[in-house]
Copies of this chain bind each other. A is one copy, B any other.
Amino acid sequence: MATLSVGMIGYKFMGKAHSNAYRQVSRFFKLPVTLRMAAICGRDEANVSAACKEFGWEGYETDYHRLLARPDIDIVDITSANNAHAQMAIDAAQAGKHVFCEKPLATNLADARRMLEAVERAGVKHMVCFNYRATPAVALAKQMIEEGRIGRVFHWRAVYLQDWIVDPSFPLVWRLQGEVAGSGAHGDLAAHSIDLAHFLVGDIDSVVGDMRTFIKERPVLAETTGGLSARASEGKGPVTVDDASVFLARFANGAVGTFEATRFAPGHKNYNCFEINGENGSIIFNFERMNELQYFDRRDDGHVQGFRTIQATEGVHPYIGPWWPPGHIIGYEHTFVHTVYNLITAIAENRMPSPNFRDGVRCQAVLEAAAQSVKSGTWEKVAY
């Protein structure tokens, strides 16, 4: 069996989730190739060597250019901070590597387009890690839509609610710094909702939105003061991203969409929720109960219609077969296992993975139109 070797850049939250996925995928899924966790890459040698051992990689690199120079590496996985994605992906493509990149693809649309151009010019495979598509219940929703169970779509309604920065004493981490993160809840959370809307409903014609930064200054962390020293005064620094983002959308197919992403919704931890209303029925998903899908079928007998709570944990459901018996639920990390399964099988079979950089660009185009509409105060066309 052939081998595909991965080199991964980054070792924080996403690095941990991706590493787990590489380790687990061949334990549960039948892959057409041997998957090799060749190298992890990070600038701090102490940290990256510890992560190498903890996460189960063969070796490590401290300079991503050296990673790219290695002939044994087939796939480069980018899990570093958002503002580093573009250059790394372009360099990886130029080095002839397949590229797997965390979302959001970039911190702006122009960069995202350059990334797409680079991978297409290089003729390599590419994928963006919109892992929620690979939730069994979400994949089931997609299947049900394709089966015509919803029909013409009237409404898309997405909220992605978290609450981890409601406390004003929560510090100024990198995700709250615009130059590193690009945006706040918008690029971090709404990006997922936008991708799901593309996946399940289709193109968005135009948007109008609003953003808010509720807490404008936060304590500067000692470890991050380096880059922030110029503007840190009395131990506080400015929050330069949005805490919350809302926008309305007009889909190309006539559906009405609403999007909301916030880190200021006490009680909601990872409430990535969407609802679709169509002529034949409705679908509701909420990631905090990610093993379930709500489904209403207008064609059920009139007196026994009702929202069903489908436990998407059975062999008939997408991705579930290799796991556990019905009702024995899976978790967050499994969405990455499924995503990596899709990545590896596509590359092994010489197909383009999905979602890929084109989807990443499309998502970025919506993010950017929404951000632009906040400035212009009016509807903005999405420049796909």
Contact = CB atoms under 8 A, between A and B. Distances in A.
**Closest 3 CB pairs between A and B?**
A269-B327, A270-B327, A267-B296
A296 B32 CA distance: 39
A240 interface: no
28 contacts: A154-B262, A154-B265, A155-B264, A161-B277, A212-B254, A247-B248, A265-B275, A266-B279, A266-B281, A266-B282, A267-B305, A268-B282, A269-B313, A270-B328, A288-B329, A292-B306, A293-B306, A297-B304, A305-B310, A306-B308, A306-B310, A306-B311, A308-B309, A324-B333, A330-B331, A330-B332, A330-B333, A377-B378
Among A162, A275, A291, max chain B CB count under 10 A is at A291
A274 interface: no
A60 interface: no
Given A157-B260, A329-B290, A266 B280 contact: yes
A297 B292 CA distance: 17
Interface residues of A, number: 93
Contacts of A292: 306
Contacts of A260: 155, 157, 258
A10 interface: no
Contacts of A212: 154, 254, 256
B266 A17 contact: no
A262 to B, nearest CB: 6
Contacts of A23: 23, 27
A384 interface: no
Given A212-B256, A288-B329, A304 B144 contact: yes
Interface of A: 13, 17, 20, 23, 27, 54-56, 140, 143-144, 149, 154-155, 157, 159, 161-164, 166, 208-210, 212, 214, 243-244, 246-248, 250, 254, 256, 258, 260, 262, 264-271, 275, 277-282, 287-293, 295-298, 300, 302-311, 313-314, 316-317, 323-334, 377-379
A292 B314 CA distance: 21
Among A55, A250, A260, max chain B CB count under 10 A is at A260
Given A305-B267, A306-B308, A157 B159 contact: yes
